[in-house]
Homo-oligomer: A and B are copies of this chain.
């Protein structure tokens, strides 16, 4: 089992990574009170809830379970209220610990509920998708969508422990595994060309769920993300490079309606577009763009964007939260493994979108 410490001063916390990390790591030890509320969804609950609650029961905890509907379209204020209401009905107090059992949606909503229930209660993440293990485990971003924009409402709030039990990936649909690989690829692309090379060599093993390959990809992703986050907890600067592929990706998700494409799929094609934009600015050569695009495709991800009018793309990206002080800032690659953040003239972005649509 791997163990990693995310260093954020008094908000530091450990991540345990491994098959059966739920049974083998000491995560229950960080729970102070007796009362625990587990938040999961109707898909994940039947698969993994029993293992979790039996461990909590054995530790003498009193457990309330909140089961949410499954899907990005439920990452809303209405679903959040289901959590609040269940907590209040169970008389959960400020010492109650929330446990998120599920993918990114469950993690984001449970984290935000924890950040805001009685002005903040402790929470623990048990991510059950590859995407959540490599992405949501680190960074403390929590929140919900608003009808006018994705992730517009939220808080930075750190978990007390993250348990990435690789056994939960056995039951993950292939499409969701690929979606998780998008973020793994991203971590290599933005800061670690060596890791990107490793991914390229091991992409078939990853898609085939080779345990050792998955374990390394989760560990290295969490390491990279925590190094970036530790230097910029509240996303005022460098942390923005983690949004590589996300500006275009969010436009895909918002443009098609949330849930049509998976987040990771949108990020996959978003990285292709961001690489093309980098190339257009003279930062990346054709071979590098093709290499990155090939890795994304071999991971089972789309490399072609859905058809949308260019004006709609630009509008959707302008409302994105990275639009600061009126200009949209893009994450670009100055070579593979070296991301930078820059404002780009809208006309150039439009040109890249048109070329991609015509290719």
Contacts and interface: CB of A to CB of B under 8 A. Distances in A.
A95 interface: yes
B156 A143 contact: no
A137 B78 CA distance: 31
B146 A88 contact: yes
A84 B153 contact: yes
B119 A155 contact: yes
A154 B119 CA distance: 5
Contacts of A77: 77, 81
Chain A interface, >50% SS class? mixed
A290 interface: no
Contacts of A319: 88, 91
Interface string A93-122: 111000000000000000010011111100
Given A77-B77, A81-B77, A88-B146, A152 B323 contact: no
Interface string A127-163: 0000000000000010100111100111110000000
Please tell me the size bucket of the interface on A: 35 or more
Interface in A206-242: 234-235
Nearest to A323: B93
A324 to B, nearest CB: 5
B85 A120 contact: no
Contacts of A154: 116, 118-119
A46 interface: no
A33 interface: yes
Interface string A182-212: 0000000000000000000000000000000
Interface in A255-291: none
Contacts of A153: 84, 116-117
Contact of A119 (B94, B143, B149): B143
A312 interface: no
A95 B112 CA distance: 21
Contact of A120 (B93, B147, B148, B156): B156
Given A77-B81, A141-B119, A91 B155 contact: no
Interface string A273-316: 00000000000000000000000000000000000000000000
Nearest to A236: B94
Nearest to A80: B77
A60 interface: no
10 closest A-B pairs by CB: A88-B148, A119-B154, A118-B321, A93-B324, A116-B153, A119-B156, A119-B155, A95-B325, A84-B146, A88-B149
